[in-house]
Amino acid sequence: MTIRKVNLADMFGRFQDQWSPKIVGEVNDSLVKLTKLQGEFVWHHHDREDELFLVVKGRLRLKLRDKELGPGEFAIIPHGVEHLPIADEETHVLLFEPKSTLNTGNIHNERTVAELDRL
Amino acid sequence: MTIRKVNLADMFGRFQDQWSPKIVGEVNDSLVKLTKLQGEFVWHHHDREDELFLVVKGRLRLKLRDKELGPGEFAIIPHGVEHLPIADEETHVLLFEPKSTLNTGNIHNERTVAELDRL
């Protein structure tokens, strides 16, 4: 059984594209994903899945009540709650969510990423 | 729906006891926990649950193949794999694991914490 050590900074160095979550680990029925965000996403919610956002670098505004997350801060968005992630500068985020979660939730548009890369 | 912003440093400031995971969030069927570790734990495994260790501060040695994790590094221990966490200095760790996970896994001894505080 090989246990992989994951260095977040190294992993964020392996990709450049924004708004396209990458899988870096599986824990039970959930995935750990890394994503780079900059600019404004799309209002959406997830019908069934809660979603954890942990900011590793940068600042993430979550338009619920304009909550803003900095490095070392996280928030959990319960399923069903509309949210709009906005990052003024490029921001590095670790996500924790079930395997079934789609990045745009209930919305399907050009920002939807159905097939995620693995790092 | 109130979304809580969690600052990891603030939360680690709210407790002093070591080897006693605290719940800081629920994501679907899983819990996010914070724990302070120093010294050597007990060899154990979890029959059913994978376990993620993300080091926030300090250094964590995981005796599998003496893998050591620093800040911004994580490893996922699959269920069934024996492991022994060791922290030479006080080390702050974020855990991600199912609600059913017991800190000492298959072992029940004086280091077992059955009832976790919430922060």
Is residue B61 a contact partner of residue B87, using CB atoms and an 8 Å limit? yes
Q: Which residues of B touch A75 (CB under 8 A)?
A: 3-6
Q: What is the pTM for the complete model shown?
A: 0.82
A64 C-beta neighbours (distance < 10 Å), count: 15
Q: Which residues of B touch A76 (CB under 8 A)?
A: 3-4, 25-27, 32
Instruction: Check CB contact under 8 Å for B4 and A28.
Output: no
Q: Backbone dihedral region of A31: left (phi > 0), alpha (psi from -120 to 50 degrees) or beta? A: beta
Residue B66's pLDDT is 65
Instruction: Check CB contact under 8 Å for A3 and B74.
Output: no
Q: Mean pLDDT of all residues in chain A?
A: 85
Give the gap in angstroms from C-alpha B86 to the nearest C-alpha of chain A: 16
Is residue A98 a contact partner of residue A86, using CB atoms and an 8 Å limit? no
Per-residue tokens: B8: 């990891």
pLDDT tens string A55-87: 999 888 887 766 788 888 888 888 888 888 888
pLDDT tens string B24-61: 888 888 889 999 988 888 888 888 888 888 999 988 88
Task: Give one DSSP letter per residue of B20-47, joined into a string.
Answer: --EEEEEETTEEEEEEEEEEE---B--S
Q: Is A61 at the interface with chain B, CB within 8 A?
A: no
Give the gap in angstroms from C-alpha A11 to the nearest C-alpha of chain B: 10
Instruction: Check CB contact under 8 Å for B75 and A51.
Output: no
Rounded to 5 degrees, what angle do the CA atoms A71, A52, A48 make? 165
Point out the least confidently predicted range of A32-36, B3-7, B95-99: B95-99
